[in-house]
Amino acid sequence: MNNLLIFYPAAVVAVITTLMVILTRNPVYAVIYLILSLCGVALVFFSLGAPFLAALEVIVYAGAIIVLFLFVVMMLNIGRVMNEQDCLRPSRKQMILPGFLVIVLLVETLMCLFAAAPVNPAASSISTKALGQALYGKHYLGVLLSALVLLIGAIGGIHLGRASSCPDTKERSIHAPR
């Protein structure tokens, strides 16, 4: 019963915030809503008996991938036009919904932390040890392949970044006085 108490509010928060990602106009707000949505999905993972993946979701998805989005939004400065329309500080009315959703997630997390019974959400919970043994035993080829995917992603990012900075440097060298 306890895990359903965690599951339903987290699922509702995830759905509402995901809809808000699609509906908001300002990209910065959309990124923040996406982080909230991922935190909700992380709590769903926790209620399904995957606490390690819940931690991984928050650390890797919300902490690394979404922050990359935030960097690019800041770099390209596409939020500027919207920010001029609704002044830089969000109004109190705009803060009600996200504030409420954050409080729901916070209360749920505290419930998980300070539950009277030791936290063991699902009956079919898979221990992190079994997960690691299966990952590095049966699926070690997948680990190698994902390392390869990350390497290719890094090389592709570096290549595209160099390609984008190359014309600028050429232009500058043309315009530079000899």
- Rule CB under 8 A: say whether 126 interacts with other proteins: yes
- Binding window for other proteins (CB under 8 A); candidates: 86-94, 96-104, 108-116, 149-157: 149-157
- Rule CB under 8 A: say whether 85 interacts with other proteins: no
Residue 128 to residues 11, 63, 67, 75: CA-CA distances in angstroms? 24, 21, 27, 38
State the DSSP string of 64-127.
Answer: IIHHHHHHHHHHHTTTHHHHHHS-SSPPHHHHHHHHHHHHHHHHHHHHHHT-SS-----TTPPP
Cβ(60)–Cβ(39) under 8 Å? no
> Which one among 9, 55, 56, 58 touches other proteins, defined by CB under 8 A?
56
Residue 29 to residues 79, 90, 121: CA-CA distances in angstroms? 9, 10, 32
Count of residues interacting with other proteins (CB under 8 A): 62
Q: How far is the CB of 142 from other proteins (least distance, A)?
A: 5
Q: Give the interface with other proteins as residue ranges (CB under 8 A).
A: 3-4, 7, 11, 14-15, 18-19, 21-22, 27, 30-31, 34, 37-38, 41, 44-45, 47-50, 52-53, 56, 60-61, 64-66, 68-69, 72-73, 75-76, 78, 122, 124, 126, 130-131, 134-135, 138-139, 142, 145-147, 149-150, 152-154, 156-157, 160-161, 163-164
